[in-house]
Each structure stands twice: as C-alpha cells, then as structure tokens.
Chain A
C-alpha cells in the first residue's frame, strides 16, 4: 500500500514536471483526449436533455392515434430513407373524403396540413408578430383534441367552416399575449399574409416542447388553408390524416382496416407495396429512438478515433519520456527498484496523463452540451453514467497505451542504463 502511495506521489510530481518540460507535446495529447471525451459528454448531455423531454412528448401524444401520410414525417434516419418518396402520390382531399365514408373501426378521422415553422406575416392593425410561427396549420375540428389542445375562449372550427371555407382562425396563447395583451381576441380580425381572418377561438397555453413554444400557432379550416395558401393545384395538395381508434386495444385492427380501405381507394393490386405511409404514434417515436441510436454510434466513432489518436500520443509521450529517463531508471533499479516498480511508475504516469485529459474533456463536454441544451430550451443535466464511463475509458487508455513503454522501461538493465548519456 505504502508503495502504491509512493508511486502515485512520484508519478504526480513526475507528470506535472514533465508537462512543464514538454508543453506542446503534452497539450496536443491532452487535446486529443479532451476532444474525444468532450464530444462523448457533450452529445450524451444533449441526448439526456432530449430523453427528458421525449418522455414529455410521449405523454403529450395519445397512444390510440395513427397517421396516414405520403411519407414518414420524421425524416431523420440515415440511409434507410425512402427513395421512392418523390414518386408517391399525394394524399388528397377527395381520398380523405372517401376514406371517411368507409371506415368503421375508427372513432375520429381528421385531416391536417401544416407549415412548421411558418414565415407568414401575421398582423393586427399596424402590429406585426415578431417571432415566426412554430406552426400554421389547416385542419378540421378534431385536430385540436387529438393534439390535446384545450379551447379557453370562443368556439372550435365547425363542419360549416370546412364546407364554406370560411376565413376563421384559432390562435395559440402566445399570439394573444403579443397581439391582444389587454383585450379578448375572440371576434377580432387578424391578418395572415394580408388576408383578414376572424378569430373564433383561443387555446390554453401548453408551454414548450423540444425547445419550441407550442403556443406560437394559428390554425384555420383545412379547406380554407388549401384554397388560400395551397396554391393553384390545391385539390391535389398533400394532406396528412390523423385517425383515432376506440382504444389502445383496437388500434391494430383500426390500422389494418385503414390500410385495406386506402389501398382499395387507390386500387393497389394485391402483392404491391403501399404507396403511402401509415404509422402509430409509437412507431413514430421508434423512428426518433432509431435516430438517437444512429447519432450515438456516429459520435462513438468520432470519439473513438480521437481517443485512438490521443492514445498513440500518450504512447509517444511515454516513449520519449522513457529515453529521456533511461539513466534515472537505471539509478532507481540500482537502488532497489524492482521491474514491477518501474512498470507501475510508468503505467500510473500514463494513466494520470489520460485522466487529466479526461477530466478537462468532461468539464468542457458538460459545459458545451449544456450550452446547446440551453439554446434548445432544455434544463441542464449531467449524464453521470457517461462521466463515469469516460473516466474509465481514459484510465484504460492510459493502461493500454502506457503498457508498451512501461514494459520497455521495466526491462532495462541497470548498469547499461546508468551509463546511458
């Protein structure tokens, strides 16, 4: 035990001294370790903040909801992205109406089309909305309940609004706060890209999700949206369908039915693939998880490479340190150091270098990751397990890359090394 304490004391002194002597080489090695460790820690910090709000996201979503869209709305997976997406037909208003008539296992079906985010100019009188909208959507009345929005003033979009393509709007709480700070917005007029809309409903504030306000939004009847903002060929514009089964238990049957009916509408012959995308909320979340999985692998690779380079740096430092210290090793051996003593001294020094680099990396990574998290509007977190793994990785790196120099040092013969100049 005493010996180990002695080595540690010796090693710390030696390492600090050696740092002073070879500032450039040491800082380069430290840089490598720091980059490796801090990228791991930074990404893990960001992912940890995501995971925190991801559980929030899941609880925001109903589990008996599924979607029919042209393509997977979460286009973040690498490689597996659908190449046929462009050739797929849009999901159109008339397909929606046919589907609506034929489904039996679906409680609600609604259509929506959205610009997220949206750069439309929103104004009331001379006042213009400063921040861009998180979402500008067209939908029918069910969209709000499917997304768990609550109306606190006025009324919902009605079937009449849809049929008559009225210019009415539902607004999120951020819009009221900014443009109608002292008055009731319901009944007033708001301009969207200079088209006047009557505000018919105000929604309760929902707060932020993944760093974005869910209240900076405006919704209008989907028919109005398509006609006024959908361009000339709005009848062929692509919409997204949200469907709700009776319960979680019937969701599989409901999706199966929807697939069958939609294939029939599109007259897809048996055996051919669906030319649309259908997924439940849970499957969508699966895509998200797949994405974070890819990200982790990618970062692992980057971190792995920089750690490998850093490790070679450590081995190099230790080998140079070895040739500079052959005489010292000889003297120590002549005075009673065993092979194992010299071996441990070198190994502990290598570990110290990498652990020091690791600690710097952890501090940088935590700061960097939390700065990113801050800008994404997330609460700060410390991924303790990854801090712990990083220390372990660094220590093992010190061992692996310090091993060869340490063995070499311990095998020196005392008399020859004392004579070495």
Chain B
C-alpha cells in the first residue's frame, strides 16, 4: 500500500462480543485495520467468521464492544446522531447481504430513499434514481415492488440504492451472490470503473474470481484477521 494515500478508516483493536446465555460469541476479536482512499478490498472467510459484523462496523451501523474507530481521523464514538447519519447517507453506500429493501415501495422509490435524507429537489431525486437503476440494468422494472422481482433483480435494486447518493466508499456484502455470471460480471465491471474513478470499495465475497479483481485481500477467521495483503 502506498503510504502517501489518505487513511479514511482506522480501526484499532476492535472487538464485538455477544453474550447469549452462558455463551460468549466474539463476532470480532481484536481487529485492527486501516483503509485508505481508493482502496479496493475483498473480504473473505468462512460463514460466521465476522465479515458482515466488520462491514456493519465500518459502515457506522454497529458499535464496537471494545476498541477505537476513526473515520476520516475522527472518533466515531464521539459523534452525535446527525453526524453519523450524515456519514451513512453521504459517504457510504451499503449493499446489504439481505438487501433490506422496503417491501411497500417500488424499485424506484426504494432507490430514492437515501436521497430523501439529503437535500435534493424532487426532480433531481427522480432523475438520479432512474440513472442508478439503469446502471444496474433495471430501467424496465422501476415500478415493481420487491415482491414482484427476482432475487437477482432485488440485489441489483440494492446496489442501485447504494450508488444513488454517489458515495465515495462502497461497502458490498456479497453483492453478486444472487446474480448469474453475466450480470455479476457487469456489476463487477462497474465496480472496477468506480474504483478507477477514485472510489473506495470493500467487497465481501466467497468467490476467488472476485477477490482477484480487488487490489487488497483480507481474510477473517473466527473474528480475527488472518490475512491482509
């Protein structure tokens, strides 16, 4: 990693511990990682190794049990609600492993949600949402509700929603898991473009081919980082 790049995320000895009865689950166990501007990272590891937990932590959705997390050199633990909301809204685009689309809303409305919490006008918002849907190839499914879409189409709506606010950091939890290889490759090509355009990408994946596209590879095992290269 060229050290000249700006460090945007810094995690120091982060742990996330769940107590379930007498069981103690260490979803993350003393994880330290630095992420720089324009990184392209793949996160791999067996199921239950803590990948999604780490992503949620990076995305400022989850709070660590222990450790220090700095975003753009600022302590997350010291930020107030609206500062955190702002980071989630403007800085980070999150593709959730389980999509998390709003079932009552059409694809277009789903994609529009992050823009509702920015200060964009109605026409601008529609235009941006349509644009984002056409990037993932769903221009003809704008008025469909999630229940009227296939699994792969839902995943693509989730991707469009993550991109719609043009965030600089994209966190994608198995973004191509439900896609056939052709549309999967299209999405990945688009991720490559985003990376070239200067965005930071962090992608959780089980597929070696995707990991190879990334410039940096992180592997988790039992909540610990075992590989970072």
A contact set with B: CB distance below 8 Å? 2-3, 5-6, 10, 17, 327-328, 330-341, 414-415, 418
Contact bitstring B49-90, A, C-beta under 8 A = 1, else 0: 000000010010110000000000000000001100110111
* Chain B residue total in the interface (Cβ 8 A): 28
Q: Is there a chain A Cβ closer than 8 Å to B25's Cβ?
A: no
Which one, B86, B94, B120, contacts A334 given CB within 8 A? B94
Query: In the bound complex, do residue B81 and residue A334 qualify as a contact, i.e. CB atoms below 8 Å apart?
Result: no
Complex CA gap A337/B82 in Å reads: 8
Which one, B59, B81, B120, B161, contacts A338 given CB within 8 A? B81
A341 and B117 contact, Cβ closer than 8 Å, known pairs A334-B61, A335-B88, A336-B86: yes
Q: Is there a chain A Cβ closer than 8 Å to B119's Cβ?
A: yes
Query: Across chains A and B, which 5 residue pairs bring their CB atoms closest together, nearest first?
Result: A336-B89, A338-B85, A336-B117, A335-B114, A338-B82
Q: Is there a chain A Cβ closer than 8 Å to B47's Cβ?
A: no
Q: Is there a chain A Cβ closer than 8 Å to B121's Cβ?
A: yes
Name A's interface SS: helix
Complex CA gap A172/B221 in Å reads: 106
Can you name 15 A-B pairs with beta carbons within 8 Å? A2-B119, A2-B122, A17-B104, A333-B88, A334-B61, A335-B161, A336-B89, A336-B117, A336-B165, A337-B85, A338-B85, A338-B86, A339-B81, A341-B117, A415-B61
Which one, B86, B104, B113, contacts A332 given CB within 8 A? B113
User: A334 contacts which chain B residues (CB < 8 A)?
Assistant: 59, 61, 88, 94, 96, 100
A371 to chain B, nearest CB (A): 41
A111 to chain B, nearest CB (A): 79
Query: In the bound complex, do residue B113 and residue A418 qualify as a contact, i.e. CB atoms below 8 Å apart?
Result: no
Contact bitstring B95-115, A, C-beta under 8 A = 1, else 0: 010001110100000000110
Q: Is there a chain A Cβ closer than 8 Å to B147's Cβ?
A: no
Complex CA gap A327/B104 in Å reads: 12
Query: In the bound complex, do residue A2 and residue B121 qualify as a contact, i.e. CB atoms below 8 Å apart?
Result: yes
Q: Is there a chain A Cβ closer than 8 Å to B116's Cβ?
A: yes
Closest to A5 in B: B122
User: A330 contacts which chain B residues (CB < 8 A)?
Assistant: 100
Which one, A17, A335, A414, contacts B113 given CB within 8 A? A335
User: A10 contacts which chain B residues (CB < 8 A)?
Assistant: 116
B56 to chain A, nearest CB (A): 6
A142 to chain B, nearest CB (A): 77
Complex CA gap A415/B121 in Å reads: 29
Complex CA gap A17/B106 in Å reads: 14
